Amino acid sequence: MVGAGVILGISWDEADGIKQRAVRRGLARKVPQVMPRLCVDEKSVGVGQPYMTMVAAVTPGVSARVEYVGEDRTRASLDTFWQGLTPEQRAGVEAVAMDMWEPYVQSTLAEVPGAADKVVHDPFHLVQYMNQAVNDVRKAEQRRLLAQGDATLTGTRQWWLYGLENVPAAAAARFEQLKTINLQTSRAWALKEVFRNLWLCADRTEAQRHFDQWYAWAIRSRLKPVKKVARLCKRHLHNILTFFTHRLTNGPIEGLNNQIQGLIKKAFGYRNKERFKNDVLFHLGGLDLYPAL
C-alpha cells in the first residue's frame, strides 16, 4: 500500500481509506447465495496476537474465496458466521471441512441442518497429530538412549516427519537402516505411514476396514502418544469417514492462508484486527470493489 501511495501521491491514511471504502462497497453489493462447500480454519494475525476464524467458500474450477473473518477461535466466533446466513444458505451447505477443534464442530452442529453428516475432518490436520505423536515417541526414546551413551537417533528428527516418498535422497540409506532397527520411533513412524494410507482407500467401506485394522495395531503398540491419537480418531471417526462422501479437505483454505501470510509479512504483523479483516477481504474476498460509473 505504501508503494501505491507513492505512485498516486497520497498518504498511507488516504490509501487505507480507499481500501476500507472499497471493502464496504463490495460487502454491500454481495447477494446471498448458497455455498455448498465450505472450509473453516484459524489464522494467527501475527506473533503474540490472537487467532482469527476464517471461512472460505470452495467452488470447483474457481479460486476459493474468503467469506468471513471473525475474531478469536471460539464457538461464538463461528456462530456469528452461521447466524449471518439465511435459512436457505444454511440448509444448502453440503460439506464443511475443518480440524477437530471442538468449538467449531459444536457451532456447526448447532447451526447447520444435518451437520452431523456434513462435517469433514481434514486429513492434513489428522496426519499432523500423528507426526506430533511420532516426535513425542522419538524424544522420549532419544533421552533413554543418550543416557546409555547411544546416539542412534541424534540428528534424525526431521526424517521421521517425512512421508516415505519425501525422505531426502541424502538421508535415504541411513533412514532405511534406522527403520530396520527395533526402535519405538520406527514403529511409531510405520503406524503414521499406514494411517496416511487411509485416504487412499476407494470408498468408505474400505476406509472403515483399514481404520479398524490400524486402530487395533495402534492400541497394541504400547506407545502412549500414538494410542492417544488413535483414541481421538476413534471418537471422531464418523466425521473422518465423511471424506469419502464429500471428498473435501482444507486444502483450499490452506492455500488462502499462504496468501494471507504474505499480507501479514508485508504488514509486519497486524496490531489492528479490523485492518487485518479489511485487507483479507480486499485481496481474497472476491468482492466487487470498484465504484459505480
User: Quick check: 119 and 105 in contact, CB under 8 A?
Assistant: yes
- Across the chain, which has 293 residues, the per-10-residue mean pLDDT values are 59 79 90 95 77 93 92 95 97 97 97 98 96 98 96 95 92 92 95 97 98 98 98 98 97 90 81 86 90 77
User: Can you tell me whether residue 149 is helix, strand or coil?
Assistant: coil
Give the integer Cα–Cα distance in Å for 29 and 259.
Answer: 24
Question: Following DSSP, what letter does each residue of 155-187 receive, concatenated?
Answer: T-GGGGGS-GGGS-HHHHHHHHHHHHS--HHHH
pLDDT at 230: 98
Grid cell for residue 146: 543418550
Contact 177, 171 (CB under 8 A): no
Instruction: Give the whole-angstrom CA distance, residue 96 versus residue 92.
Output: 11
List the grid coordinates of 276: 487485518
Instruction: Give the residue among 195, 194, 41, 174 at the shortest CA–CA distance from 126.
Output: 195
CA 13 to CA 18: how far, in whole Å?
9
* pLDDT score, position 248: 96
pTM for the model stands at 0.88
Query: Domain 30-121+249-284 in CATH: superfamily?
Result: Ribonuclease H-like superfamily/Ribonuclease H (3.30.420.10)
For residue 101, give Cα distances in angstroms to 69, 78, 131: 17, 12, 18
Q: What pLDDT was estimated at residue 13?
A: 74
